[in-house]
Amino acid sequence: MQQAQQWIAEASRIAALTGAGISAESGVPTFRGASGMWKRFRPEDLATPGAFSRDPKLVWEWYCWRRGIIAGSAPNAGHFALAGIEKRAAAFTLITQNVDGLHDRAGSRNILKVHGDIWDVRCLSCGREERDERVEFPELPPRCGCGGMLRPAVVWFGEGLPQDVWNAAEDAVRSCEVMLVVGTSAVVYPAAGLVPLAKSAGAKVIEINVDETQFSSLVDFSLRGPSGELLPRLLQPAAGS
């Protein structure tokens, strides 16, 4: 941990990639792994345009269930530690696969949401996209003022990531000196590809995960444990700074 803290203290450009694991200690279920929610649902059944067109009510019931859990949760020490390093590092870019908005609530500012935000909705008819923080809706699927059907404005399987956000994420990873990879199973692309990209760009990569991932042997340090405990220790301001 000492060496990893040193690299971070000396780095002026840091990037972080987070996944569902960073929100686990906030009570937001992860997708895969021991307590993963995908066990009861299958990605193909819910997080795809096909699933939505077949059964928009079922997909909305899943998102409303998640909205309820997220609304009742709070950022944890891991989220706050990343918000803290953003204030200290010369350049810090937070790339998240999470749609739960906990990084925003922890005070992070420069956040690249590569899979969108669960609180945003988009109308299938008029295309209007807006923030809608309701957990309950009068009817499912909810309707736009124009009468069109609303969908969660997140990125589903088979859908492209927002181009400008993705380009900014790649740029940040290519130019960083240190990359933190926190709480992701690293199985979903193209986000997972940012880890080998960082290595090929010459960055030091530090992973924090309770389990092994496919990249645990590729990264420079793979710290085993919960991010709510390890991130504050890893990112603590160097003594006397």
- Residues classed as catalytic: 115
**Mapping DSSP to helix (H, G, I), strand (E, B) and coil, where does residue 205 land?**
strand
User: Restricting to residues 210-239, which ones interact with ligand BV8 according to CB under 6 A?
Assistant: 210-211, 213, 226-227
Task: Answer yes or no whether residue 188 interacts with ligand BV8 by CB under 6 A.
Answer: yes
Report the 10 Å Cβ neighbour count for 187: 12
| Cα-to-chain-centroid distance, residue 203 | 20
| Contacts with ligand BV8, 46-75, as mask; x by CB under 6 A | -x----------------------------
Choose the contact partner of 142 out of Zn ion, ligand BV8, none; CB within 5 to 8 A by kind: none
The CB density around residue 189, as the number of other CB atoms within 10 Å, is 9
β-pairing, 116-123 vs 129-131, is: antiparallel
Residues 28 and 21 sit within 8 Å (Cβ to Cβ): no
Residues 6+ apart with CB under 8 A from 136: 64
> Cβ 128 to ligand BV8, closest distance in Å?
20
Choosing from 12, 53, 110, 125, the residue that interacts with Zn ion (CB under 5 A) is 125
> Least distance to Zn ion from the beta carbon of 131, Å?
15
Residue 126 makes contact with Zn ion by CB under 5 A: yes
Q: Is 107 exposed, middle or buried (0-12, 13-18, 19+ CB in 10 A)?
A: middle
Q: With CB under 5 A as the rule, give the number of residues binding Zn ion.
A: 6
Q: Which does 91 bind (CB under 5 to 8 A by kind): ligand BV8, Zn ion, none?
A: none
β-strand pairing of 204-209 with 116-123: unpaired
List of residues contacting Zn ion (CB under 5 A): 123, 125-126, 144, 146, 148
List of residues contacting ligand BV8 (CB under 6 A): 19-21, 24-25, 30-33, 36, 47, 97-99, 115, 154-160, 183-185, 187-189, 208-211, 213, 226-227
